[in-house]
Amino acid sequence: MGKIYTRKILFVIAAMLLCVLVAILIRLFFSNRTIRMTLTPIEVETGEAVHYADSTRNARSWLWEFGNGDISHERSGEYVFKEPGRYQVRLQVDGGLERKQIITVHKSRDDYGSDELVRMKAPATAFQGEIVSFKGYGPSKEWRWQFGESGIVDSREQNPLYAYTEPGIYEVLLTTENTQYPVRHTIEILPQYTENDSTDVLVIIGNDIREHLQAIVDGKPFNTHYNYILKKYLCGNPDIAVTVNNSKKNDFYSYCQGLKIIARRKTLIDEVFVDMGDNLNNECVMQLMVTQHERFSESKK
């Protein structure tokens, strides 16, 4: 009887030690991983989308809490805050890792005054050759943008992108079917950085990415160049958006596969512009904008 009792005690002790060991291993496993959450932009207006994504190593489950009762279990996506305020977004990965970020939501400019007003949002300054984002607000269905450089209508999209070829001060005109006269905005285009200007980090990054994308097109080892860009600049997130020639979009992985299979040896990557988001401390590229064209085949004699 004493031996049986002793065995039971030893069994209980062994089970407890096993539980403690498992708990320690789980804690070590989670403590060795760093949660890699990205939210951009961190300041928006009501109605504007916030892009959220996570690239934590070996993550299997996600719980996003947006500070207003809404949640998401997706690895990445977009969320729109409908009310102004400050929201604490909380991400929990695999039920153990956790990180928080404050998002500030401002009242939309469309909420001030009449909802019938057409407005534009654009930067006051930009660099020569830099891809500039313009946004149109209001109830209009037709948008006609003149960026002041060509003297003609340059775009009919609501939110176009444009790169100025020459420095100077330009007047941007936005005309719609609901405006009697154009909405006006002045933008100053500064001379572009030289290749030797080490402060132009974004241009250096863009050129580096362009070289590796061209290598994929030219049939060089896909995984080498794809993983180089993914790990060095995108923080391991293959869902980063790639806008091609200011019109069509793909996630980064699908875009690179297209370069490998469809565009192989036929396409030239002209320029890559990188968007790091509104957070100046952000180390991850949040969006790529690519200009490219097809090589002209030699005509048959």
Which of residues 238 and 263 earns the better pLDDT score?
A: 238
What percentage of the chain has pLDDT greater than the value 90?
37
Name the superfamily (CATH) of residues 37-109. Answer: Immunoglobulins (2.60.40.10)
Q: Per-residue pLDDT averaged across 283-290, rounded?
A: 89
pLDDT at residue 274 is higher than 70? yes
User: Is a pLDDT exceeding 60 seen at residue 3?
Assistant: no
Domain 113-190, CATH homologous superfamily name and number: Immunoglobulins (2.60.40.10)
**Average pLDDT of 137-160?**
91
- pTM for this structure? 0.38
Q: Is the pLDDT of residue 136 over 80?
A: yes
Q: Where in the chain is the domain with CATH 3.10.450?
A: 201-294
Q: What is the mean pLDDT of residues 278-300?
A: 73
Delimit the CATH 2.60.40.10 region(s) of the chain: 37-109, 113-190
- Read off the pLDDT of each residue in 94-119 and give the average, rounded to a whole number: 75
Q: 């565009």: which residue's tokens?
A: 263
Compute the distance between CA of residue 39 and CA of residue 50 in angstroms, rounded to an integer: 7
What CATH architecture is 201-294? Roll (3.10)
Query: Given this model, what pLDDT does residue 225 score?
Result: 93
Average pLDDT of the chain is 83
Long-range interactions of 34-40: CB distance < 8 A, separation 24+: 35/91, 35/93, 35/97, 35/98, 35/99, 36/235, 36/236, 37/91, 37/99, 37/101, 38/235, 38/237, 38/277, 38/282, 38/284, 38/286, 39/89, 39/101, 39/103, 40/277, 40/278, 40/279, 40/282, 40/286
Classify residue 187 by burial, with Cβ atoms within 10 Å: 0-12, 13-18, 19+. Answer: buried
Q: What is the 3-state secondary structure (H, E, C) of 205-250?
A: HHHHHHHHHHHHHCCCCHHHHHHHHHHHCCCCCCCCEEEECCCEEE
The yes-or-no verdict on residue 300 having pLDDT over 70 is no
Tokens 């313009």 sit on residue: 134
- Of 272, 274, 270, the C-alpha closest to 292 is 270
The percentage of residues in the chain with a pLDDT greater than 70, rounded to a whole number, is 84
The model's pLDDT over 13-42, given as tens digits with 9 standing for 90+, comes to 777 878 777 766 655 554 556 788 888 888
What's the average model confidence in pLDDT over 133-144?
Answer: 88
pLDDT band at 2 (very low <50, low <70, confident <90, very high): low
